[in-house]
Amino acid sequence: MSEARDTWRKPPFIANPVVRWAVYLGAIAYFLWVGATMPIDWGRVADGFGRAGRIFGGAFPPSFERSGLLIDGFLESLKIAILATTGGVLLSIPIAFMAARNVAPLPIYYLGRFVIIVARSFHPVIVAIIFVKAVGFGPFAGVLTLVVYSIGFVAKMLAERIEEIDFGQVEAMRAAGAPFFSTMFYAIFPQIMPRQIGLTIYQLDSNLRASAVVGIVGAGGIGATLANAFGRYDYDFALAITIVIVGAILISEGVSGMIRKRIG
């Protein structure tokens, strides 16, 4: 009987030593090359500190003088978020069913997946720029943008939940001769409902945040107010807006967390 070995090493991630060292050295060389060739102007960085100092200096103390404008902008953002969540979630449900492999026939499945991929592939800011071009400045463009954004997330997550359902319940309805929509409402909806509600609340929260961002490119809401304030060098007003946005997001996150815990 041979002596038991007392040394052990975790097998390397890349087994071939030549390939392994080539990959490591290549990665290091690339980083060095990027660092050497990126046009980083240290003079501008130094100037930037001074400019940032002026911005923050001008921002204190935050000015709530034009709070009417602030409240209007915030309420508009809230409206955008609520409308977009409602529309986006309502559209997400049929798309999610189309994109769930276990309930949709193959061509419909591909169509559903395609819609989701398209909705997910662009950042909301890019979608917002397109919609602002298409329907003009203002909250309508914001709503359309966030509808697309909501579909990308809610439909995808919901489709995954539908694919995880206990199919026995569907089978039981089928065995009773139930038509398609009755089967859906009795065997599938009850199973996905908790996830559906959770996703909706999360998406409302997320849309409120995103509505501030898309406003900057002209899609209405408090983001537009913020962009205007920066444009006019009203840094103290801009800080007030930022404080309100952060506060609103904190509150909405707390509320949505509480609701999701209760329905979980």
Partner 1 sequence: MLKITDLVKRYGSGDPVLKNLDLTIEGESVVSIIGSSGAGKSTLLRCINRLVEPSSGSIELNGTELTKLRGRNLRAARRKIGMVFQGFNLVDRLTVMENVQSGRLGYISTWAAIMRRYPKQDIRRAYELMERVGIAHYANTRADQLSGGERQRVGVVRALMQDPEILLADEPTASLDPKTSEQIMGLLRDLAGELKLPVLINIHNVTEAKEYTDRIVGMRYGRIIFDDKPAQLDQEAMDRIYSGSPHADRSEDLRQAS
Contact (CB, 8 A) for 238 and 230: yes
In whole angstroms, how close is the CB of 190 to partner 1 at the nearest point? 4
Note whether 197 binds partner 1 by CB under 8 A: no
SS3 content of the chain, % helix, strand, coil (to 5): 80, 0, 20
Map residues 209-228 to x or -, x wherever contact with partner 1 holds by CB under 8 A: --------------------
What is the C-alpha to C-alpha distance for residues 179 and 166, in angstroms, rounded to an integer? 18
Name residue, tokens 């997330």.
Answer: 153
Footprint (CB under 8 A) of partner 1, residues 44-83: none
For the chain, the first-to-last Cα distance in angstroms comes to 58
Instruction: Pick the closest to residue 249 from 218, 219, 216, 213 (CA basis).
Output: 213
Instruction: Please give the backbone phi and psi of residue 178, each rounded to the nearest 5 degrees, phi first.
Output: -75, 140
Work out whether 263 is an interface residue with partner 1 (CB under 8 A): no
Binding region for partner 1 (CB under 8 A) out of 21-29, 56-64, 149-157, 177-185:
177-185
**171 touches partner 1 by CB under 8 A:** yes
**Binding segment (CB under 8 A) for partner 1, from list 85-93, 189-197, 210-218, 235-243:** 189-197
Query: Looking at beta carbons only, is 63 or 183 nearer to partner 1?
Result: 183
- Segment near partner 1 (CB under 8 A), from 2-10, 63-71, 73-81, 174-182? 174-182
106 binding partner 1? (CB under 8 A): no
- Look up residue 9 and give its DSSP letter: -
